[in-house]
A and B are shown apart, each in its own frame.
Chain A
Amino acid sequence: MERKLITGNQAAALAARDSGVEVVAAYPITPSTPVVEEIARMVESGEMDARLILVESEHSAMAACIGASASGSRVFTATSSHGLAYMHELLHYAANARTPVVMAVANRAIGPGWNIWADLGDTMSQRDTGWIQFYCSSNQEIYDTVVMAYRVAEDRQVLLPAMVCYDGFVLSHTAMPVVTGIGEFLEEYRAPWKVDFDEPETFGNILSSDYYMELRKDVFESHRKAIRIIKKTEEAFESLTGRYSPLLLEKYMLDDAETAIVAIGAIASESKIAVRKLRRDGKKVGLLRIKCFRPFPSTDVVEALESVDTAVVIDRSISPGHEGQLFSEIKSALYSSRNRPEIIGKVAGLGGRDVTFRAIEKAVCGEFRDGWINEVVV
């Protein structure tokens, strides 16, 4: 174990190295470029024993990742924003083909207006591709989550690709202390099935209506089972490394809370300061942080929010024509609960607009009524 001051992108690259990744295929895009640069440097210097495939586009990057994973390798890639959007078709492929690729995504807005800053809209719009999605709120978590994501993704009951998402610049380019080292947490990846030149088989073959629905149902069921695997992985990681790194969700001062802030990504960390300040003013506020967005931990969300009166959900993305995606999911999870709280949705921080703990405090105190936190409250 070593403690050093590194950026979120460096944390992702070091985690890929420490996870024993064998193949990386990537195409650079701001703000995830330094992940690939760091990997290139480590491969070049011999620090990382992997094959780095540089391709001409993100579409090809994901195609190469799927191929490498299907031939039994542990595979990693990184992208952002338009690069992720360009991968869209292959994201479905990776999930349906059951290739447990892990991808770091430094979240960035999609243009125009051209914008390179933090916004979760890029990964939120890949919600239904079948990928597991984790959203980090510190650099330590980026490191730990990449490592844990392999254990979840490669589990025989799961076998699905996973995205490790983190706010562009806010985490990707900000340096923070990170403890690295995973001991014996990961075993070598043993693919249940792999492409073999000596015994040719068809990969990604045609599937009629007689079978396709079963295949989709399998993917659906695997996501459900993944919830339990995620909990087990979180426990195993803590007992082996001594680091508690929430993988499904995190409750902060929520036990006796009357109001809950529900947040995701870096804003959730900023929200903890708001919770402390409001507690100091005698207000019973807590935080529920959603770490895993797919599979969505509905049961645990209901359990966490049933006892509060009000839940204020903060999204860093929006679904035009409806509302913030997290807001929708939280409401949907609580629909069947008899004790559901009043649920309020707020949208903040699009395109990298700074979100301060004071703005979050104001949102909780009801001063931002229309649901938009536009102002940078200083």
Chain B
Amino acid sequence: MVEGVRWEIRFHGRGGQGAVTASLLLAEAAFRCGYYSQSIPFFGAERRGAPVLAFTRISEEEILERSQIYSPDCVIVLDPVLPGTVNIFSGLKNGGIAVINTTDAPEKFRFHQNVLTICTVDAVDIAIRNHLVVSGTPVVNIPLLGAFLRIFSRIPPEITEDVIRERFRRNWKANVRAMWEGYENAVIRKVKGSGKTMSQESKCSIAVRVPVSKPVKGVAGRTSIWRDFVPEIDYSRCTGCLNCWLHCPESAVLRDGREVRIDYDFCKGCLVCSSVCPKTAISVAREVMG
């Protein structure tokens, strides 16, 4: 349990999952319990599917910080894919809490802290069962908030329930249900880590100083994880008109003469290529993350 006068919580998610909303709801609930709170969204690439961060500070005193949170007491991870691509445990205090949306057991996670309290919940399942799916994305924020409240006893879940009811006027019943299911289904274990401090990951160096770019692995990593749908070229119909190459907003369609291919490491699945192809040679399939 986190003690003291100040708690700092970092949310990891992807655009559309509700990380920013969860951060705000938690700050609002804390505010109603008499704390001074702050909710900071951090929009990376401002696109659906891109990794996003949000932060909540809860304090007994006025909060003067305007910067982000680097040594959180707790991380809340909304995306089951993120643990493999983003270092969700970065800077998390030794003995801190990680609330993770996963079907895995708490013991499966590896980290450099000596010990963490890992709280797991299958938030995707709860979201789907409560019909909390928007544009094909299960909105997992509320069940995770429920799981967090199970460990964080300073905020009574009933207060959070009120906040959710006011926020989701039309759909509050499903959300309140999802919160309680998250609260009740949370699996909480103390897990030992390696205890070895990892060297700080260096930020990507800027290779060119002119604002011109080609897709490379930058701070966002391989941006293919933003993709929900994947375009595929049928070469028997492709005439080499280069329309897809011309229109791709990410320069992820590569060309060799008149032959095109898709760079799947950086294609974000916007499907512009498919819609501009005059020969309907680019089909669309659901992405399967492997």
Interface residues of A (CB under 8 A from B): 5, 30, 111-114, 116, 137, 167, 169-171, 173-177, 266-267, 269-270, 272-273, 354-357, 376, 378
Give every chain B residue within 8 A of A175 (Cβ-Cβ): 24, 27-28, 37-39
Contact of B68 among A30, A111, A137, A354 (CB under 8 A): A354
User: Contact at A273–B64, with CB atoms within 8 Å?
Assistant: yes
Give every chain B residue within 8 A of A267 (Cβ-Cβ): 66
* Given known A-B contacts A5-B27, A114-B211, A378-B71, A177 and B36 have beta carbons under 8 A apart: yes
Best-buried of B40, B64, B65 by chain A (most CB within 10 Å):
B64
**B209 to A: closest C-beta gap in Å:** 10
User: Contact at B39–A174, with CB atoms within 8 Å?
Assistant: yes
User: Contact at A176–B63, with CB atoms within 8 Å?
Assistant: yes
Size bracket of the B interface:
20 to 34
The stretch that binds A, out of B41-49, B176-184, B249-257, is: B41-49
CA of A5 to CA of B24 in the docked complex: distance in angstroms?
Answer: 9
**B60 to A: closest C-beta gap in Å:** 13
B70 at the interface (CB under 8 A from A): yes
B80 at the interface (CB under 8 A from A): no
* Given known A-B contacts A111-B211, A113-B211, A173 and B67 have beta carbons under 8 A apart: no
B229 at the interface (CB under 8 A from A): no
User: Contact at B41–A355, with CB atoms within 8 Å?
Assistant: no
* Given known A-B contacts A174-B40, A177-B37, A112 and B65 have beta carbons under 8 A apart: no
Give every chain B residue within 8 A of A376 (Cβ-Cβ): 70
CA of A270 to CA of B64 in the docked complex: distance in angstroms?
Answer: 6
User: Contact at B65–A357, with CB atoms within 8 Å?
Assistant: yes
Q: Which residue of A lies closest to B40 (CB)?
A: A174
Within 8 A of A (CB), among B81-103: 91
Contact count A vs B, C-beta below 8 Å:
65
* Given known A-B contacts A169-B41, A174-B41, A266 and B66 have beta carbons under 8 A apart: yes
B86-122 vs A: 1/0 string, CB under 8 Å? 0000010000000000000000000000000000000
CA of A170 to CA of B38 in the docked complex: distance in angstroms?
Answer: 11
CA of A356 to CA of B65 in the docked complex: distance in angstroms?
Answer: 8
B31 at the interface (CB under 8 A from A): yes
User: Contact at A173–B41, with CB atoms within 8 Å?
Assistant: yes
User: Contact at B42–A5, with CB atoms within 8 Å?
Assistant: no
User: Contact at A170–B66, with CB atoms within 8 Å?
Assistant: yes
Give every chain B residue within 8 A of A111 (Cβ-Cβ): 211
**B77 to A: closest C-beta gap in Å:** 20
* Given known A-B contacts A116-B46, A378-B91, A272 and B36 have beta carbons under 8 A apart: no
Give every chain A residue within 8 A of B37 (Cβ-Cβ): 5, 175-177
CA of A284 to CA of B211 in the docked complex: distance in angstroms?
Answer: 43
Contact of A356 among B28, B31, B41, B70 (CB under 8 A): B70
User: Contact at B65–A270, with CB atoms within 8 Å?
Assistant: yes
* Known A174-B41, A356-B67; 18 more pairs at CB < 8 Å: A5-B31, A112-B211, A113-B211, A116-B43, A170-B40, A171-B66, A174-B40, A175-B39, A176-B38, A177-B37, A266-B66, A270-B64, A270-B65, A270-B66, A270-B67, A273-B64, A354-B67, A378-B71
Q: Which residue of A lies closest to B206 (CB)?
A: A113
